[in-house]
Chain A
Amino acid sequence: MTKIARRTVLKSTAAAAAIAGAPSLARAQARPSAARTIRAVFHGDVPTYDPIWTTANMAAYHGGMVYDTLFGIDEKGEAKPQMVGKYGYDAGNMTWSFELRPGLKWHDGTDVTSGDIVASLKRWAARDGGGQHMMQRVKGIESKDEKTFTISLKERYGLVLDVLSKTSTPVCFMMRKKEAETDPMQKIETVVGSGPFTLNMAETRPGTQYVYDRNPNYVPRAEAPNGISGGKVVKVDRVVFVNMPDGQTAVAALQAGEIDFYEIPQPDFMPQLEADRNIKIQILNQLGQVGLIRPNFLHPPFNNVKVRQAMLHCVKQSDHMKATFGDSKYAKETPSYFAMGTPMENDANTGWFKGGQNFARSKALLAEAGYKGEEVLLMQATNIPYMSNSAQLLAQELRQGGFNVRVEAMDWSNVVQRRSVKNPPAQGGWNIFITSAGGTAVGHPILLAAHAATGGSAWFGWPEDAKHEQLRAQWSVGETLADRQRIAREIQENAWNFVPQVYYGQWVQPAAMRTNIRGVLPVAEIIPWWNVEKV
């Protein structure tokens, strides 16, 4: 029998390990240097590669890397052309015509055509609230030639560019016709965009890291970047989205220089980060988030307007903000029905706020409503700290205001599941749930699904108010900003009477990054990685 020497075994094992590791080594050697790579941690994992199919912000962050949009908003919130070159509308303002700018190519090297755009618009409009609002007034979207397409309207509609350029999710990203013809209810699986980055599938590990490489064939616009409009000039070779669920680890990794950017440091960590001279804090989304308390219009007691009005007098927004953010400079109150800081912000019918928390007034309104102490079921999402804190506080406030409240603790996925149930609370339904929405969307009467008051077809809570809908329709054809602001005041005047929802505050989320990261553009809802450099 042949003897196998120990040395031979060791040599063979080493050789086998080297062969097995060769592909990894080759990949490691092909990687861009750390100086040309940004490693960023966000609030969660990319749930899908299809940013049209879901409203999750992480999917929009992914979408912003690989896909491009027809229009983008600048820092003032005005729509500016992005993939579009020339555009305009006919004399009657009923047909919009758009021509794609030259040099647009998909990541597979083929040209972007108007056929791709038409298919993309139709799929996006099937999923997006703003898109659906527009499509109700659209006669047709047609490709005229390789580079030109039109949107014909049935009636005057002033929001075409607003809707196409919005940053609230789902963002109107353009895809190849092949993917765009996928059923809107199905997710696309192939990621081929025309944006400034490409997804490196070989190095991406779902749930762990998503690797985006600079698209060398991308032709940016000549204008300077502004918001998400202007030239998308990529100044690094690679951006890696690292999925790091533990906030404390992310903060430590940022301090140690292992990551370059952390989107959502918790308020507890802010003093520690602010004291670190290698870290800088930047507020990217100046409008932040608005906290929403949604009452259910379908069942007692919130099917009574006076009961909903009573709730307005119970909620002290500053207490809710303190409960989560402490005495923070990052949170404030929002008496405006449209988020503070947006063009539609106003102070119409805000006497309930100016008068401060008033439990006596709440009890008087409940008495007028004939409230007999029916139980109010409040859903508390325990796994999302700000929602959980606010639910506990709200329960106490409502009790002091004369309500009989029962808090039901569950995780957010259960809230999402249960809030769609229209049955009475005793049969699996609910009375109140707490959530939040982006300030940009809250400041826009059309783009936020929660602003609709169309009863059974409205967003969860199903508010119904004919005047509200009439005013929203008027707003959408407002000619000037002044017109829209005037109508927005009327909407608010009416909204704070019928109370489709109550707010518990508005806050911004500061991002933390290493001081050598420069050029992160302040944009609501999306974090652009073009223009960013590592010095």
Chain B
Amino acid sequence: MLAYIVRRLFLTLPVMALVAVFVFLLLHLSPGDPAAIMAGENATAENIAQIRTKLGLDEPLWKQFALWVLALASGDLGQSLFWGDPVTTLIGQRAEPTISLALTTISFAVIVAITLGVTAAANPGTWIDRGVMGFAVMGFSLPVFVVGYMLIFLFAIELKWLPVQGYTRFAEGFVPWLRNLVLPSLALGMAYVALIARITRTTMLEVLSEDYIRTGKAKGVANRPLLLRHALKNAAVPIVTVVGIGVALLIGGVVITETVFNIPGIGRLVVDAISRRDYPIVQGVIMLFAGLYVLVNLLVDLSYTLFDPRIRY
């Protein structure tokens, strides 16, 4: 097992290297000049050129890349072109809201989606099944921002139950923290719920048609333990795989959700950085997200051993 983990971690290196090359080239070869943005509306060409020199943007591309990779290798993500602060510090300041949003969304989505998927599979062809699948199609089709604005209108403007926007730190109280996360988590979790509910239903239907389930029923096992203890555990591997894959969906959704709900997280940080061409921040955050995604996939692979003892690494 340990050897497998070490091997997998080594395999992440070429993946991260490819991501690094891709991100760097994509940013630096796309149009737009941070120096021009920083210089402002009335800047002269000389002003812009001076800023470009100061930021090192007039150096050859290969040299800029080499310097960035060398710094990256020592854990230094560089400094924001606009703020001058280390990228790691800026990410650190924004990490809590994003982690909170991701955790509440995953918790909400997994609980709701598995419940819906199992319920639909237990009642195939009924109105419950059709209702769940209809909800799943809708959840997957509606963009996050549309769901977000609808939730804001209903629960914040009309009913005044929850705040429109913002984030309260966990240290300032659990209830205020949660109140700020309910609507964003619902909005962001919709697509995730749809994805997991559909795969849960499909996998459960497959498992429920297995011989051992029929045997269980014949031996008088009650419906609930049959579904949850015997069927769901055997359906878990594909579900966990989709939960892992869905993290990419979640990362993309976080960027939009944080903008709609004005949550000062890493998603907002990267959106602002893109519009300003603040290369070090964009590069740093994408590297972080890529690393996170690779790590989540590793954890998903390792979790298979918990659900299916036949799997060994």
Contact = CB atoms under 8 A, between A and B. Distances in A.
Nearest to B82: A47
Contacts of B31: 410-411, 414, 417
Interface stretch (A20-28, A172-180, A227-235, A354-362): A20-28
B85 A206 contact: yes
Given A24-B169, A47-B82, A417 B262 contact: no
B32 A28 contact: no
A45 B276 CA distance: 11
Interface string B31-49: 1110011111111110110
A239 B272 CA distance: 23
Interface in B150-180: 152-153, 156-157, 160, 163-166, 169-172
Given A253-B164, A258-B164, A417 B172 contact: no
A21 B172 contact: yes
Contact of A417 (B32, B54, B83, B152): B32
Given A245-B272, A252-B157, A205 B36 contact: no
A185 B47 contact: yes
Interface string A130-152: 00000000000000000000000
Interface residues of A, number: 47
B48 A417 contact: yes
Given A206-B85, A246-B260, A258 B37 contact: no
Interface in B65-86: 82-85
A20 B40 contact: no
A416 B37 contact: yes
Nearest to B269: A207
Contact of B38 (A54, A258, A435): A54
Highest count of chain A CB atoms <10 Å: which of B153, B165, B260: B165
A459 interface: yes
Contacts of B260: 246, 248-249
Given A256-B163, A258-B164, A249 B83 contact: no
Interface residues of B, number: 50
Contacts of B268: 207-208, 245
Interface string A449-472: 100000000010000000000000
Given A21-B172, A25-B171, A413 B36 contact: yes
Given A205-B264, A208-B264, A256-B157, A245 B83 contact: no
Contact of A414 (B32, B90, B93, B269): B32
Nearest to B53: A185
Contacts of A55: 40-43
A417 B259 contact: no
A48 interface: yes
Contacts of B32: 411, 413-414, 417
B261 A249 contact: yes
Interface in A434-459: 435, 449, 459
B165 to A, nearest CB: 5
A258 B164 CA distance: 8
Contacts of B108: none
Contacts of B201: none
A256 B156 contact: yes
A90 interface: no
A533 B37 CA distance: 35
B163 to A, nearest CB: 6
A45 B272 contact: yes
B172 to A, nearest CB: 5
A411 B42 CA distance: 17
B40 A420 contact: no
B149 interface: yes
B147 interface: no
Interface of B: 31-33, 36-45, 47-48, 50-51, 54, 82-85, 90, 93, 149, 152-153, 156-157, 160, 163-166, 169-172, 259-262, 264, 268-269, 271-272, 275-277
